[in-house]
Amino acid sequence: MEPLDQDLDESELELPTEPMLLNVGPAHPAMHGTVRIVMELSGEIIERCDVQVGYLHRGFEKMCERGTWTQVFPYVDRCNYVSPMLNNVGFALAGEKMLGITVPERCQWYRMILGELARMSDHLTCDGAMAMELGAFTPFLWMIKCREMLWEIMEEETGARLTHSFGRIGGMAAPPTDGFKEHVKAVVKHILSVLDEVERLLLGNRIFLDRLENVGIISAEDAISLGWTGPCLRAAGVPYDVRKAHPYLKYGEVDFDVPVGSTSDSFDRFMVRIAEMRQSARIIDQCVARMPDTGPVNVDDPRVILPPKEEVYNTIEGTIQHFKIVMEGLKLPAGEVYSYTEAGNGELGFYLVSDGSGTPHRVRIRPPCFLVTAGLERVITGQMMADVVPSFGSLNMIGGECDR
């Protein structure tokens, strides 16, 4: 049979050349349900795009101004629903910086262990989801199973799997449980073995490498100018880690490395997270070895810490102290503070303004994700449309933190 177009001269064909507009999200599963990208496509190449966030905005900063300082903790929990413990500790440190108090040594180690476990859960989720979005479902299930083990530790310690609300200004809500160290050791050992397996499964996979290598590149200068921090900045070769550069808690006393990438592509961001989980395991090992089994967890300061229950019920001083902290809230001195910690996605800053009362005047959360997502436009412009999903996945945007 003759081909249908045999007598059509090519110059007569009218090929449409105008750019095509494509809307992705917010309901698209790869957009986490919270981000919308409007793209102008020329063929399959993204010529221009507009990233729109805000679909998960819940007005946390406004709500923080209505309660006491302690009542901020549930909100910071819900900002990052993958590693809430890091946000808890970050906010507690900001309040403590303002009050000029330092928590006891046992609490500092405890916070570090819980924080590093949360960081592992953050990175497991991101890397697992990246693999899943490229069609590799097995590593995702393995990694989410590992995350489940981490959340079991959290549940045992805090009573909640996800929204712990466990931090307090001046300490933690409860001391470590009896079997905490053994439980942590066993789980971390298992996670390290799963990481090895995941690497064996993915890093020899042609499809996985082709989809990630040399895709979603951003220069180090651009990343710095955009205010990127955390694994995404380190993948661009800039070794900035708050834990190393400005150590808080006991990070100055433990031994760990800051992994950096070289080409700043999606693959580097994947690998930096894998390497960071191994570093977290190193940190946890040292913390478990050095955390004392006995001793106070909270500071001995009746202005900030609730008295023990038997004192509340049996002594008038305890009752009054309890009443004042619960009803009026603990009081931070008037002034302002910017406190920053290394969260799962980078520098998590809290800028607090206090007027000296028990209610915050302003709680500003500096979310690492917000600025990383701001760079998405620069990352995907000029890329193929199909590369949006792995590039966006490698940035690990957490909707709750980005939109607050």
Partner 1 sequence: MSQALIELVKKNFPAAVLETHSQLGDETIVLAPESWQEVCRFLKENPQSDMNMLTDLTAVDFPSREPRFEVVAHFYSLTRGHRLRLKARVGDRDGETVELGTLTDLWGSANWLERECFDMMGVKFIGHPDLRRILLYPEFEGHPLRKDYPAEKIQPLLQYRDEPNIEKVAPFGVDEGMSFGRQTHKVGIYTDEDGDSGARRKVISPADN
Q: Which is nearer to partner 1, 95 or 128 (CB)?
A: 95
Q: Which is nearer to partner 1, 196 or 221 (CB)?
A: 221
Q: How far is the CB of 339 from partner 1 (least distance, A)?
A: 9
Q: How far is the CB of 119 from partner 1 (least distance, A)?
A: 20
Size of the site for partner 1 (CB under 8 A): 52
Given candidates 57, 161, 189, 309, which one binds partner 1 under the rule CB under 8 A? Answer: 57
Q: How far is the CB of 362 from partner 1 (least distance, A)?
A: 5
Q: Which is nearer to partner 1, 39 or 149 (CB)?
A: 39
Half-sphere exposure of 89 (CA within 13 A, CB side): 24
Side-by-side strand order, sheet with 36-42: 20-24, 36-42, 45-52
> What tokens appear for 320 in the block?
């009054």
Helical spans, DSSP H, in 134-205: 137-158, 180-202
Q: Does 149 bind partner 1 (CB under 8 A)?
A: no
Question: How many Cβ atoms from other residues are within 10 Å of residue 151's Cβ?
Answer: 17
Q: Does 38 bind partner 1 (CB under 8 A)?
A: yes
User: How far from each other are the two terminal CA atoms of the chain, in whole angstroms?
Assistant: 63
> What tokens appear for 203 in the block?
């890093």
Q: Which is nearer to partner 1, 277 or 372 (CB)?
A: 372
CA distances from 256 to 87, 89, 241, 251, 253 (A): 21, 20, 11, 9, 10
**By three-state DSSP, how is residue 376 classified?**
helix
Q: Are 401 and 345 in contact (CB under 8 A)?
A: yes
Question: How many Cβ atoms from other residues are within 10 Å of residue 250's Cβ?
Answer: 17
Concatenated DSSP letters for 105-130?
A: HHHHHHHHHHHHHHHHHHHHHHHHHH
Q: How far is the CB of 304 from partner 1 (least distance, A)?
A: 16
Tell me which DSSP letter residue 380 carries.
H
Give the max Cα distance, the chain: 101
Residue 21 backbone phi and psi in degrees, to 5: -95, 135
Q: Which is nearer to partner 1, 139 or 367 (CB)?
A: 367
Which residues from 91-130 bind partner 1, rule CB under 8 A?
A: 97-98, 100
Side-by-side strand order, sheet with 346-354: 335-343, 346-354, 362-366
Which residues from 326-345 bind partner 1, rule CB under 8 A?
A: 335-338, 340
Q: Does 247 bind partner 1 (CB under 8 A)?
A: no
Q: Does 62 bind partner 1 (CB under 8 A)?
A: yes
x/- mask, partner 1, residues 353-382, rule CB under 8 A, reads x-------xx-x-x---xx-xxx--x----
Q: Are 389 and 29 in contact (CB under 8 A)?
A: no
What span, in angstroms and rounded, lies between the C-alpha atoms of 65 and 72? 9
Q: Does 49 bind partner 1 (CB under 8 A)?
A: yes
Q: Which stretch binds partner 1 (CB under 8 A): 137-145, 150-158, 208-216, 217-225?
A: 217-225
Q: How far is the CB of 110 from partner 1 (least distance, A)?
A: 24
Q: Are 26 and 5 in contact (CB under 8 A)?
A: no
Q: Which stretch binds partner 1 (CB under 8 A): 24-32, 104-112, 218-226, 247-255?
A: 218-226
Q: How far is the CB of 230 from partner 1 (least distance, A)?
A: 12
Given candidates 296, 351, 359, 385, which one binds partner 1 under the rule CB under 8 A? Answer: 351
Q: How far is the CB of 225 from partner 1 (least distance, A)?
A: 4
Q: How far is the CB of 355 from partner 1 (least distance, A)?
A: 9
Q: How far is the CB of 191 from partner 1 (least distance, A)?
A: 31
Q: Does 173 bind partner 1 (CB under 8 A)?
A: no
Given candidates 238, 284, 379, 397, which one binds partner 1 under the rule CB under 8 A? Answer: 238
Cα-to-chain-centroid distance, residue 291: 25
Q: How far is the CB of 402 from partner 1 (least distance, A)?
A: 9
Length of the chain: 404
Residue 353 pairs with which residues in a beta bridge?
336, 362
Q: Are 24 and 388 in contact (CB under 8 A)?
A: yes
Q: Does 244 bind partner 1 (CB under 8 A)?
A: no
Q: Are 153 and 183 in contact (CB under 8 A)?
A: yes
- Positions in the binding site for partner 1 (CB under 8 A): 21, 23, 38-40, 48-50, 52-54, 57, 59, 61-63, 65-66, 97-98, 100, 222, 224-227, 229, 238, 240, 245-246, 335-338, 340, 347, 349, 351, 353, 361-362, 364, 366, 370-371, 373-375, 378, 403-404
